[in-house]
Chain A
Amino acid sequence: MTAVASSIPPTWYLLLASAVFCIGLFGVLTRRNVLYFLMSVELMMNAANINFVAFALYYGDLTGQVFALFVIALAAAEVAIGIGIILVLYRNFGTTDVTVPAEMRW
C-alpha cells in the first residue's frame, strides 16, 4: 500500500465513485443516441470498479481487485453484444436514435 493511497480516507473514493456513477446515469437518462448510452453505462460500471479497487486496498483484501478485472471483461462482452444489436437496429431503422423505433407502443 503506497503512502499516498492510504492517506486518503475511503469516503473520498466513495464520493468519486458516486460522482462518476451519477454522470453515467445522467447520460443514460438524457442521451438519445444509443452509442452514448453504451458509454454512459460503461462509466457506471467503472464507478463500481473504483469502489472495488479502493476498498480492496482499504481492507487489504484482493477479492475486490480481482472482481474488478472480471467486471472489465464482462463490460467488454456487454459492449460487444450491444454493438451487434445497434448494428441490426441501424440496418432496420436507419438510425441510432433510441426514440425512433416504435413498432410497438411503450
Chain B
Amino acid sequence: MVNGLPGVTALLPALLLAATGLALLLVDTVRPDARSNTSMAIVGAIGSLAALAATVWLTASGGVSPDGGAVSLFADAIKVDTLGLFFTAIFASVTALVLVAGHDYFDDHTNPAAFYSLVTFAATGMALLAVANSLAVVFVALEMVSLPSYVLVAYLKQNRGSVEAGMKYFLVGALSSAIFLFGISLVYAATGSLILADIASASIEGLTGVLGVGIVMMIGGVAFKTASVPFHFWAPEAYEGAPAPVSAFLSSASKAAGFVVAFRVFTEAFPLEMAVSANVDWMLAFAILAAVTMTLGNFAAAVQEEVKRMLAYSSIGHAGYALIGVAALTVDGPANGTVMGAAMAHLLVYGFMNTGAFLFVAMAERWGVGRTFADYAGLWRRAPVASVAMAVFMFSLAGLPPFAGFFSKYFLFQAAIDNGFVWLAGLGAINSVVSLYYYSRVVKALFLDDPASPSALDAIDVRPTALYAAVVFAAVATVLLLPGFGPVIETAEAAASALF
C-alpha cells in the first residue's frame, strides 16, 4: 500500500491514457498541417507505457487503500481492485503495441493523428470499464470504447472494404448496445439500483421475470463486445476490412474489455446463489454460448483462405475458451476463482500473441504481398525474424506445449474439470486440435512452401522498423510469459477469487 495519496490516484492508468489522448489532439490542433507522425507515435507509446507502469505499480504496491484492498470512488460507482488493474495491464500493453505499429502502417496516410488519439480514447474507456462498479459507468465506458472503435474500423475512408466493415460494425454495435441498455433498464426496474452490490442485495418481489429478461439482454451486449455467438458475425467482416493494427486492437483489447464486464458484473450483481434460486441461470447460458462459440469459431477458421479472416474466426474461437471462465461456475464450486483467474491469464497471453499475429498481417499488408495463405509462401526468406515471431504466435495460439498459450489453456481446462465441467474442457481440447490444423497452415506457408514465382517476394522493399519492433516485442512477451506465468496466474486467481 502507498500511504498519503488521495484515493483518486487509483485511477492513474485511466487518467494517464485520457491525458495522452488529449495531448495528441492538442498537438494536432496546434500544428494541423505538420504531419508529426513520428512524434505522435512516440507520445502515444510513452503515454500507454506510463499507464502500464502505473498499473503494475498499483498492483505491486497493493493499491492506495489503507488495508491494501479495493478502492471505492464516486459513491461506489467505481471500484479499483486487482481484477480491474489486471485487465488495465492488458489494455495498456496492447495499446502500446498497436500505437507503435500504427506509425509504419499509417506512414503515408494524410491524417494519422486521429488514429493515435482514437485508440488512446478507446483505451481510456476500457480502463474505466475495468473498474466500473455501477451499470451506469459500465454503459458509459462501453460506449467510450465502442464509438472510437467504429471510426477506427472505417478509418481508411477511400477504401471500400474498410468503409463497409465500419458500417457493419456500427450497425451490429448500435443494435447490441441498445439491447444491452434495455437490459440494464429492466434490471433497474426489478431492483431499483445500478450499483452492482445493491442489485445483488435488492429484494425482488414478483419481478423475477423482468430481471431474467434483463440479464439475458445484458448477455447479448457482452456477446457483442467479446465477439461471441450470437453477436459474432460482425467480427470476420470488421477485422478483415479494418486496418490491421485496428483489427489487432479490437480482437485483443476490445475483446478483453467485454470479458471484464462479464466477469465483474455477472458475479457481483447477480451472485451465483441468487441466479440459481431466482431461476436465471446465466452460467448455463454462458456455458452454451462458450460451447457454440468455440466450435463455430474454430471450424469456420479451418476453411478460410485468407490469413486475416482466419485470425478473425480464431479470435471468435478464443472468445469461446475465455467464456469458460464465466460458464464453468457453480454455487460453492471449489474452483470458481481458479477457472476465472485462468481465463484472465489466457486473455493476457492472448493479448500479446493475437496482437502480434495481426501486426504480422499488418506488415504483410504494408509490403503488399497479398492476403491468402498462398501469398505468404516462402516469406521467411525475405523476413526471417518476423516469420519466426509469427510461428511463435501461431503455435502459442494453438496451445502447443513450450509456449505460454499452452499453459493458460491447460490451467483453464484443468480448473473447468475441477469444477465439474468435464464436457466443456473436453470440447475445448477437441477444438484446440482443430485449431492446430489451420495455425500450422500459416507456418507451413511461411517456411516450407516455395513462392508462387521468383519475383513474388520483390514487393518486400520497405523495412517498417517500428512494426518490426512491435511484432518482435509481442513475440518476446509471448515467450517470456512462460517463465513469468507463475506470478501472472497467481495474481489473476487472487483477483478472481475476491469476486466470490
Chain B: CB-nearest residue to A61: B192
Report which of B166, B233, B241 forms a contact with A85, defined as CB distance below 8 A: B166
Distance of A44 Cα from B185 Cα, bound (Å): 11
Report which of A41, A48, A61 forms a contact with B174, defined as CB distance below 8 A: A41
> Knowing A78-B143, A81-B151, A82-B174 touch, does A64 contact B163 (C-beta < 8 A)?
no
Distance of A101 Cα from B169 Cα, bound (Å): 13
Residues 177-227 (chain B) with a chain A CB within 8 angstroms? 177-179, 181-182, 184-186, 188-189, 192-194, 210
A104 part of interface (Cβ distance < 8 Å): yes
Interface SS of B by simple majority = helix
Distance of A67 Cα from B171 Cα, bound (Å): 24
Residues 41-90 (chain A) with a chain B CB within 8 angstroms? 41, 44-45, 47-49, 51-52, 54-55, 58-59, 61, 63-64, 67, 70-71, 74, 77-78, 81-82, 84-86, 88-89
Distance of A6 Cα from B310 Cα, bound (Å): 56
Distance of A17 Cα from B139 Cα, bound (Å): 19
Closest Cβ–Cβ distance, residue B189 to chain A (whole Å):
5
B370 part of interface (Cβ distance < 8 Å): no
Interface magnitude class on chain B: 35 or more
B154 part of interface (Cβ distance < 8 Å): yes
Report which of A64, A92, A106 forms a contact with B160, defined as CB distance below 8 A: A92
> Knowing A48-B178, A81-B151 touch, does A59 contact B140 (C-beta < 8 A)?
no
- Which residues of A lie under 8 Å from residue B188 when comparing CB positions? 51-52, 55, 63-64, 67
B285-326 CB contact bits vs A (8 Å, 1 = yes)? 000000000000000000000000000000000000000000
Identify the B interface with A (CB < 8 A): 136, 139-140, 143, 147, 150-151, 154, 157-158, 160-161, 163-167, 170-171, 174-175, 177-179, 181-182, 184-186, 188-189, 192-194, 210, 233, 236-237, 240-241
List 7 A-B residue pairs with CB atoms under 8 Å apart, sorted by A's residue number. Answer: A37-B174, A88-B157, A89-B163, A92-B158, A98-B171, A103-B241, A104-B164
Identify the A interface with B (CB < 8 A): 10, 14, 17, 21, 24, 28, 34, 37-38, 41, 44-45, 47-49, 51-52, 54-55, 58-59, 61, 63-64, 67, 70-71, 74, 77-78, 81-82, 84-86, 88-89, 91-93, 98, 101-104, 106
